[in-house]
Amino acid sequence: MADFDPAQSGAEPSGAGLIRAEPAGAEPAEAEPAEVRTLQAGSPLLRRYRRGAVTSWLQACRVVAVDSSGVFCWLPVGAGFGFRQQADGSPVRAAPIKDFTAGRLRLGGWQDRSALIWMPAGRAHSVWWFFAGSEFDGWYVNLEARTGFWRHGGAFGVDVTDHELDLVVAPDRNWQWKDEAELELVTGLPGYWDADGSAGIRAEGRSVLAELAAGRFPFDGSWCDFRPDPGWPVPRLPDPLPDFGWPQR
């Protein structure tokens, strides 16, 4: 997950810090699969992180571009954001699924740094270009699995399973692993992955490092001067939040 603790840094939700229970009642039979190539730049897109049957994180973004390489979206400071919170107010992270189920969803606004997020087609990671104001501030590689894109009511999005282990890459391309201990902590727990799955997560990270070492995209300087359309409103979380299981089949 991102390279900061939302409860102890500028990423903590701002404003009212609303605690919201997820919608109750029977779930719809399914969400509608969505064709991403029809999306226009500026369209809202929700990254909905899941642990078991519950939402663990939410990021309200805007589509930047869709091409054969994947989907690019923009997560600006102030965008709608949510995380699963324990009774003491701390975020639920690298924990048994039951802890996520027992937690509650705290909603607010993304802070600290904006991010351009690329979700490459067919790969088990996303790459984030961080920006401090308008200045490029390094890359972040979030190792993750994603569902197909979906549409539910008026919301469009994708579900994400975070793989705990990440890579932090400085603007000069020096890098380090992040959250290795968290990967080991959850490996083998019900609802997570086994040792083979953990090895696969590390292998995905090493494949990204090979691209970094070769200076290939996305580490070739592309998008480091990105500026969002100044006419785009700050994206907000849908209300009510999408409430469905995925996939249903």
Please tell me the distance from the alpha carbon of residue 42 to that of residue 245, in angstroms, as a whole number: 26
Whether residue 133 has pLDDT greater than 70: yes
Please tell me the distance from the alpha carbon of residue 138 to that of residue 128, in angstroms, as a whole number: 8
Average pLDDT over residues 164-172: 98
pLDDT at residue number 39: 86
Whether residue 18 has pLDDT greater than 80: no
pLDDT at residue number 14: 37
CA dihedral of residues 215, 216, 217, 223 (deg, nearest 10): 30
Of 10-14, 46-50, 104-108, minimum mean pLDDT range: 10-14
Q: Give the confidence band of 8 by pLDDT, cuts at 50, 70, 90.
A: very low
Beta strand spans in 68-174 (E): 70-75, 80-85, 104-109, 114-120, 125-132, 135-152, 155-169
Please tell me the distance from the alpha carbon of residue 192 to that of residue 100, in angstroms, as a whole number: 13
Please write the tens of the pLDDT for every residue from 229-242: 999 999 999 988 87
Whether residue 27 has pLDDT greater than 70: no
Q: Is the dihedral of CA 228, 235, 48, 166 positive or negative?
A: positive
Beta-carbon contacts of 112 under 8 Å, excluding residues fewer than 6 positions away, are 4, 9, 10, 11, 77
Other CB atoms within 10 A of residue 154 CB: 9
Give residue 104's region: left, alpha or beta (phi > 0; psi -120 to 50): beta
| % of residues, the chain, pLDDT over 90 | 74
Q: Where in the chain are the domains?
A: 18-214
Q: Give the confidence band of 149 by pLDDT, cuts at 50, 70, 90.
A: very high
Q: Is the peptide bond before 247 cis (omega within 30 degrees of 0)?
A: yes
Whether residue 150 has pLDDT greater than 60: yes
Tokens found for residue 135: 């200045």
Q: What CATH class has 18-214?
A: mainly beta
pLDDT at residue number 220: 98
Q: Give the confidence band of 119 by pLDDT, cuts at 50, 70, 90.
A: very high
Of 108-112, 187-191, 240-244, minimum mean pLDDT range: 240-244
Please tell me the distance from the alpha carbon of residue 179 to that of residue 150, in angstroms, as a whole number: 29
Whether residue 28 has pLDDT greater than 60: no
Q: Which residues make beta-bridge pairs with 76? A: none
